[in-house]
Chains A and B, each alone.
Chain A
Amino acid sequence: GQQLNQSPQSMFIQEGEDVSMNCTSSSIFNTWLWYKQDPGEGPVLLIALYKAGELTSNGRLTAQFGTTRKDSFLNISASIPSDVGIYFCAGPGGADGLTFGKGTHLIIQP
């Protein structure tokens, strides 16, 4: 089935910095989804992308569907403490449902 490679694995940043993470797949996707998981909670959908080249914003978050349809990027501008968590990319899975990347842990240092 499809494999998603998400990077970086973890990020240690200062409050106020911008964040950029990406996800690549072994095959072409028609949909890219970005989820955030707060500690002790389930993942929550942040942004959904359905078209190659699409750029979508949700407040300080911006995600893009790569033109090759094998990658996607998530950027967070001016990070704040509540941005801490694990960010997952996801796309259509081989066994139905979704295939998830292994996540990017975002840690904001005081």
Chain B
Amino acid sequence: NAGVTQTPKFQVLKTGQSMTLQCAQDMNHEYMSWYRQDPGMGLRLIHYSVGAGITDQGEVPNGYNVSRSTTEDFPLRLLSAAPSQTSVYFCASSYMSSGNTIYFGEGSWLTVV
């Protein structure tokens, strides 16, 4: 009953450091995505993937990289963390894209100081 699993739950970074947020799903979903949630901004799409080996940019991709080497995993990399990347990050997955119900992980709280 794992669903979408994100790690870590909480992380504090210094400006300029890099890190990877991990995301794994065990539902054999083709579609995976990363959102960030900021006060008053709702959920904004960072990157998404419609299948292994395929990724694309969302609404706010700058400063982030993704890869999709397997169906199960979709890590999000912060290349050089900035305070503006302080946010809550959610990984999500679904069987197909656009309009189908998607399932969210529990979130990763990231603070960049």
Q: Which residues of A are at the interface with B, using a C-beta cutoff of 8 A?
A: 1, 30-31, 33, 35, 40-45, 48, 88, 91-93, 95-103
Contacts and interface: CB of A to CB of B under 8 A. Distances in A.
Contact of B106 (A31, A41, A45, A97): A41
Q: Is the interface of A mostly helix, strand, loop or mixed?
A: loop
B37 to A, nearest CB: 8
A33 B92 CA distance: 15
Interface centre among A33, A98, A102 (most CB of B within 10 A): A98
B43 A93 contact: no
B42 A98 contact: no
Closest 4 CB pairs of A and B: A42-B104, A102-B42, A92-B99, A31-B99
B43 A95 contact: no
Given A44-B104, A91-B99, 5 more contacts: A42-B90, A42-B107, A92-B99, A97-B58, A97-B97
Given A33-B101, A42-B106, A43-B104, A96 B48 contact: yes
Given A42-B105, A88-B43, A102-B42, A96 B98 contact: yes
A5 to B, nearest CB: 11
A63 B92 CA distance: 23
A11 to B, nearest CB: 16
B13 to A, nearest CB: 20
Interface of B: 4, 31, 33, 35, 40-45, 48, 50, 56-59, 90, 92, 97-107
B106 A95 contact: no
Contacts of A96: 45, 48, 50, 56, 58, 97-98
Contacts of A41: 106-107
Contacts of B92: 42, 97
A97 B45 contact: yes
A99 to B, nearest CB: 8
A27 to B, nearest CB: 13
B90 A43 contact: yes
